[in-house]
Amino acid sequence: MIPEQTQPIRLAIDMPQSASATNAPTTDTSAPSPADASQSAEELCIEISHFNAWYGSFQAIHDLSLDIRRNQVTAFIGPSGCGKSTLLRWINRMNDIVPTAHSNGTLRIHDLDVLSPSTDVVHLRRQVGMVFQKPNPFPKTIYENVAFGPRLHLKLRRGELDELVEWSLRKAAVWDEVKDRLNAPALGLSGGQQQRLCIARAIAVGPEILLMDEPCSALDPASTLAIEDLIYELREQYTIVMVTHNMQQASRCSDRTAFFFEGRLVESGPTDDVFTKPQQKRTDDYVRGRFG
Amino acid sequence: MNIESTTPVAPNDSESQRPVPEAIRQGASATTESTQNSQRRIRRSKTFYGICVSVSFLSIVVLAVLLISIAVQGRSRLTPTLLTGAHSTSEPASSGMYPAIIGSLSICAVCALSALPLGIGTAIFLEEFQPTNPWLRRLHGFLNLNISNLAGVPSIVYGLLGLSLFVFMFNAFGQIKVNESSGTELMGVERYYQILTLAGGGDSVLVRQTDLALPTITITEPIEAVDRDGNTFRLEVWDPKSGTPKPKDPATQHRTVRLGQSGGAYAKTSWYYFRLPFGRSFLAAGLTLSLVILPIVIIAAQEALRSVSPSLREASYGLGATKWQTVRNVSLPAAIPGIMTGAILAMGRAIGEAAPILVVLGATVAKNSGPQNLMDTVVTMPVLIFHWAGDPQVTYQQLAAAAIIVLLLVLLLMNSLAIYLRQKIRVE
Ligand SMILES: Nc1ncnc2c1ncn2[C@@H]1O[C@H](COP(=O)(O)OP(=O)(O)OP(=O)(O)O)[C@@H](O)[C@H]1O
Ligand SMILES: [Mg+2]
């Protein structure tokens, strides 16, 4: 994680870059290029094929096929209502909560058939953590928030739990900010800190995949950059799928990008390719901000 | 991204050429007409505010008048005797409401212990679970629809329901008769006949009652008996006509009865005495009141659970929590303050209810202690107040006023306790 002081500088670097649409994919000098990593790890992690999803009789996703690779950041982009969140919420079966939601097709994580009714969703959700659009810490202390997940699954001694909480908070790059007030209410943190706390909470149960639904959309630019840096770091150990409406964010911190439109996958590929030489006219229009 | 550099897309083009509606253009400029309009609306708003203030003031005045008149009337009877004594028909001046306070509190305890878990459980079922089973789903929908209707049912109807459901249990276990063994006794009671011995001075021994249908026994031959300490011994019979002299030794006298001596039934009950049906007992009354407040508790708990942010639930599920873990660790803790508020209101309602109690327990106030066992009847504060207030004697009228003050104080105490608990939970 880049120290706090350098954030304004990064901000300064990013601003001019984002102003010109044509050279958007220029690699960011202050962080390793997404392109570097995309070469190394190509192992398949989530395999989606011919996937359809409905809310009642409304079909939100049509015949969608997509591979998500391990230890990469995959960004879902597309106009509002195109089904990004829906797909994300099917990956960890979060849509089970919605009574009208149903789906068919194939959605596998390694060997696990996610959609099968016999799948143990508790185990699945432990493997696939989720971070939501709005930071949603529990109205408990910071410590209790991070300890919540591990406590659900394991019987840990106090010392082990302390260690796990510290590890998670360090990993989520908030440890330095909260280490002196672990027993303070989590709702007293700033929005950006809350969101990183939520990330810490998600990784404390030891997931392999992290789903992030617009994790920065409720945050200010500085917090956004902190989270983006964090996502970059986390990629080493986690497979990350994130939804974003921010083109710069997608280009800055994702390895691969998938563009959705009206419930269909229009195009997916390495982020550089999607942004510089999109195959589809609609993708081109969207990444250039012509609609959406 | 830079939007200026790209040509605008066609649909936007025609949108921008649409003329601004007349109404908006007018509204935006501050003409005298629109200023007058807003002045008028401000005046109207102020009038409305004034009406609201005076209406709420009026209700406070009515309440104050009520409280003051009661305080004035009951002032002279607010004595320690009021809190320690029992109702007395012969001496109104030494009457008190101790049995009624204990009675009301014990009924409230039964009521809270049964209605709160049931009500909160139902609310959790209704709010947190979407059953997949079609029958359960139908039940779910049916309950949801009808609970608010139940809250509007007059409490006397619940009284009648309680009467047949708890007091008589539809006579499935036999008819309950006053002062008589009846129903199916499950535990906590031993039945005896009490028989006077030769020792005199009211000295008696107990003989186990085997046939509950016989209210009395006549001793004609030696029989096994039990003394006050619970030791069994053989009870001897002395026949005055046989010519044998009456035993002189007190110990022997204590173990001997006159031939033909009869004894009445005597029941030794423990606090856990339990029988079916419940009869006119405080248990039946408490359960009946719990029917009255159940809909209130359910609705309040439902409301409280509904106001818990769905994002918290999602966060919990997202971490792999099961439904129960989510309810237990997230929804319930967040809803507890709201649930407690509902519970306070409901308990206030329960402690003040007279109608269902009158139906279930009857209007009797002749009791000088709290309940001795689960099947014991009680006097409650509202019923005692009802009784006193209806008496022509001035002393009883004053007592009624004083008892109302005590009832209000007990309510206030209960509420403050609940608010204190709620605050404590909230802080944690
Ligand atoms: N719980 C629901 N019940 C019914 N329809 C829903 C539900 N959630 C989403 N939808 C519909 O499904 C479609 C896809 O929604 P989804 O939330 O996946 O869009 P999205 O791409 O995430 O949009 P956004 O970028 O605005 O978050 C939308 O048309 C939406 O109206
Ligand atoms: Mg969404």
- Over residues B283-299, the pLDDT tens digits come to 999 999 999 999 999 99
Distance from CA of B132 to the nearest CA of A (A): 9
pLDDT of residue B250: 87
Residues facing residue A256 across a β-bridge: A74, A270
**Beta carbons of B352 and B291 less than 8 angstroms apart:** no
Grouping H, G, I as helix, E, B as strand and the rest as coil, residue B219 is: coil
Considering only CA atoms, which residue is closest to atom 28 of ligand 1? Answer: A81
Atom of ligand 1 nearest to the CA of A87: 18
* DSSP at B213: T
More confident site: B48 or B269 = B48
A chain contacts of residue B2, beta-carbon cutoff 8 Å: 19-21, 289
pLDDT of residue A288: 86
Closest CA to B322 of A126, A98, A99, A86: A126
Considering only CA atoms, which residue is closest to atom 22 of ligand 1? Answer: A85
B chain contacts of residue A291, beta-carbon cutoff 8 Å: 9
Say how far apart CA B13 and CA B16 lie, in whole Å.
6
Please check whether the domain covering B80-172+279-427 is classified as CATH 1.10.3720.10: yes
Instruction: Render pLDDT for B135-167 as a digit per residue (tens, 0 to 9).
Output: 988 988 898 889 988 988 999 999 999 999 999
Considering only CA atoms, which residue is closest to atom 17 of ligand 1? Answer: A85
Closest CA to A142 of A192, A201, A206, A191: A201
**Beta carbons of B184 and B241 less than 8 angstroms apart:** no
Q: What is the whole-number distance in angstroms between the Cα of residue A81 and the centre of ligand 1?
A: 5
Is beta strand A44-55 parallel, antiparallel or unpaired with respect to A101-109?
antiparallel
Instruction: Render pLDDT for A80-90 as a digit per residue (tens, 0 to 9).
Output: 999 999 999 99
Considering only CA atoms, which residue is closest to atom 26 of ligand 1? Answer: A80
Supply the mean pLDDT for chain A. 84
A251 burial level (CB within 10 Å; 0-12, 13-18, 19+): buried
Supply the mean pLDDT for chain B. 87
State the CB neighbour count (10 A cutoff) for residue A255. 23
Q: What is the whole-number distance in angstroms between the Cα of residue A213 and the centre of ligand 2?
A: 6
Closest CA to A88 of A53, A116, A139, A40: A53
> Cβ–Cβ of A132/B314 closer than 8 Å?
yes
Q: What is the whole-number distance in angstroms between the Cα of residue A81 and the centre of ligand 2?
A: 7
Distance from CA of A129 to the nearest CA of B (A): 6
**Beta carbons of B268 and B187 less than 8 angstroms apart:** no
Give the lowest-confidence range in A3-7, A219-223, B19-23, B157-161: A3-7
Residues of chain B with CATH 1.10.3720.10: 80-172+279-427
Kindly state the tokens that stand for A239.
């497979």
SS3 content of chain B, % helix, strand, coil (to 5): 60, 10, 30
Atom of ligand 1 nearest to the CA of A86: 18
Q: What is the whole-number distance in angstroms between the Cα of residue A257 and the centre of ligand 2?
A: 16
Q: Which residues line ligand 1 (CB under 6 A)?
A: A 55, 58, 60, 78, 80-86, 98, 100
Say how far apart CA B264 and CA B204 lie, in whole Å.
11
What is the ipTM for the molecules in this complex? 0.83
DSSP element (H, E) containing B256: strand B256-258
Q: What is the 3-state secondary structure (H, E, C) of B63-92?
A: HHHHHHHHHHHHHHHCCHHHHHCCCCCCCH
Instruction: Render pLDDT for B379-414 as a digit per residue (tens, 0 to 9).
Output: 999 999 999 999 999 999 999 999 999 999 999 998
Task: Output phi, psi for A80, to 5 deg.
Answer: -60, 135
pLDDT of residue B96: 93
Grouping H, G, I as helix, E, B as strand and the rest as coil, residue B423 is: helix
Say how far apart CA A259 and CA A250 lie, in whole Å.
11
At A13, is the pLDDT very low, low, confident or very high (cuts 50, 70, 90)? very low
Query: Distance of alpha carbon A186 from its chain centroid, rounded?
Result: 21
Residue type, B336: I
Closest CA to A206 of A112, A92, A129: A129
**Residues of chain B above pLDDT 70, percent:** 93
pTM score, two decimals? 0.80
Nearest residue in chain A measured CA to CA from B316: A149
> Cβ–Cβ of A130/B318 closer than 8 Å?
yes
> Cβ–Cβ of A139/B334 closer than 8 Å?
yes
Mean pLDDT of B297-311: 94
Residues B418-427: contacts with CB under 8 Å, at least 24 apart: B418/B340, B418/B343, B418/B344, B418/B347, B419/B344, B421/B340, B422/B336, B422/B337, B422/B340, B422/B341, B425/B333, B425/B336, B425/B337, B425/B340, B426/B337
pLDDT of residue A20: 35
Of the partner residues A19, A125, A289, the one whose CB lies closest to the CB of residue B319: A125
Nearest listed ligand to the Cα of residue A80: 1
Instruction: Render pLDDT for A221-262 as a digit per residue (tens, 0 to 9).
Output: 888 888 898 898 899 999 999 999 999 999 998 999 999 999
Kindly state the tokens that stand for A69.
């690779």
Q: What is the whole-number distance in angstroms between the Cα of residue A83 and the centre of ligand 1?
A: 6
Nearest residue in chain B measured CA to CA from A130: B318
At A264, is the pLDDT very low, low, confident or very high (cuts 50, 70, 90)? very high
Say how far apart CA A28 and CA A41 lie, in whole Å.
20
Mean pLDDT of B299-318: 94
Q: List Cβ neighbours of B58 (8 Å cut-off, separation of 6 or more).
A: none
* DSSP at A245: S
Q: How far, in Å, are A155, A215, A239, B228, B293 from residue A192 at the CA level?
A: 30, 10, 22, 77, 45
Distance from CA of B136 to the nearest CA of A (A): 14
Q: Which of A64, A82, A286 to mutate to test the pocket of ligand 1 (most atoms within 8 A of CB)?
A: A82
**Beta carbons of B97 and B81 less than 8 angstroms apart:** no
Of the partner residues B9, B314, B319, the one whose CB lies closest to the CB of residue A291: B9
Residues of A at the B interface, defined by Cβ within 8 angstroms: 18-21, 24, 92, 94, 97, 99, 121-126, 129-130, 132, 134, 136-139, 148-149, 152-153, 198, 201-202, 205, 247, 287-291
Say how far apart CA B347 and CA B342 lie, in whole Å.
9
Nearest residue in chain A measured CA to CA from B331: A138
